[in-house]
Structure 1
Amino acid sequence: MRLLLMSDTHLPKRARALPPRLLDELPRADVVVHAGDWVDTATLDLLEIRSRRVIGVYGNNDGPSLRARLPEVAYADLEGLRLGVIHETGPAQGRERRCAERFPDLDVLVFGHSHIPWDTTTETGLRLLNPGSPTDRRRQPHCTYMTARVTDGRLGEVRLHRLPPRT
């Protein structure tokens, strides 16, 4: 099973549209994960139309229309892999401990908010992934997203993709 992970798209405020390279990934993904701060419902509609399955949450910049359609925290069993998605996990310092305590029954937690790519594993084995943002790099050198594979209930082939600068 192939996963496509993104967060913090902030459309149409930070960009007019999702990058073409990211859109090209949609048909190849079995599951698209979005960790919040969509800002517009059109992006959710687009992903739901063009993707096999979307797992998403709302973020702090998402208004009532998105909050009505999305949970604050999402959970899914992906071929035995216990996945969670949330927008914000708090400051980087202490993140592993906080997330391991809050989500003891997960294998992987995808989060966003910071726009900073993150890939660590807690002492309890919880994998924490932040795909960054495909549209708003903030202080990062590149806009980013992630892909991964789930095989026999295990996460593998996690890859951070850097997008070219917008012209």
Structure 2
Amino acid sequence: MADQRLLLIADTHVPKRARRLPDQVWDEVDAADVVMHAGDWVDVALLDELEARSRRLVGVYGNNDHGALRERLPEVATATLGGVRFAVVHETGPAAGREARCATTYADADVLVFGHSHIPWDTTAATGLRLLNPGSPTDRRRQPYCTYLTCRVGDGRISDVELHRLPPRAPRRKE
């Protein structure tokens, strides 16, 4: 079976931080076999749009998601893709001790995709668990760029993990 292309996003905060996802991210949605969203959608309309447009969507709710988002999405999602076991969650707690803590909590996963901090993260725990945070494509907070991740999975391995920086966008005008 051919490798699958994944798009990893989190903390989109649409329409709170941006009216919509950047076009570059929508292009990645179209190219991806699977889209993973690690929470903080804010508006159920984005969930509807991603479900309609993506081939497969794996998502969870975040701390800013309420109502229909919490009704439709789990707190933790799991999926096996290309022989790689994924867990997706929004929050993992403080950065200090994250690898060891997550290696215990998500012992059945090969890769943990998470969000919340808006800080891109790519580390591997002593157990081999790979931890990936794509940052945010719409709300960079204290980071220099808005970001997302892509990767490939197949034959039981993850490869080509790439952090993508989005070009700066004009500030939103007060209406």
Instruction: Report the TM-score, using the length of structure 1 for normalisation.
Output: 0.99
Quick check: 1:60 aligned with 2:63?
A: yes
User: What 5-or-longer segments of structure 1 have no aligned partner?
Assistant: none
- The alignment yields a C-alpha RMSD, in angstroms, of 0.5
Deviation at 1:90, TM superposition (A): 0.3
Post-superposition Cα deviations, 1:45-73, rounded to whole Å, max 9, x if no partner, equal: 11111100000000000012100000000
Alignment match of 1:100 (pick from 81, 100, 103): 103
Counterpart for residue 14 of structure 2: 11
Alignment match of 1:37 (pick from 10, 26, 40): 40
Deviation at 1:79, TM superposition (A): 2.0
Post-superposition Cα deviations, 1:71-103, rounded to whole Å, max 9, x if no partner, equal: 000000112110000000000000001000101
Deviation at 1:151, TM superposition (A): 1.7
Counterpart for residue 79 of structure 2: 76
Post-superposition Cα deviations, 1:2-29, rounded to whole Å, max 9, x if no partner, equal: 0000000001010111001000111210
Identical-residue share of aligned pairs (%): 71
Secondary structure of the residue aligned to 1:68 is: helix
Deviation at 1:105, TM superposition (A): 1.0
Q: Distance in 1 between matches of 2:51 and 2:113?
A: 19
| Conserved 8 A contact 2:81-2:154 | no
User: What 5-or-longer segments of structure 2 have no aligned partner?
Assistant: 171-175
Secondary structure of the residue aligned to 2:104 is: helix
- Greater than 2 Å deviation, 4+ residue runs: none
Q: Distance in 2 between matches of 1:161 and 1:45?
A: 24
Q: Distance in 2 between matches of 1:56 and 1:127?
A: 18
Secondary structure of the residue aligned to 1:4 is: strand
Q: Distance in 1 between matches of 2:80 and 2:28?
A: 22
Counterpart for residue 173 of structure 2: none
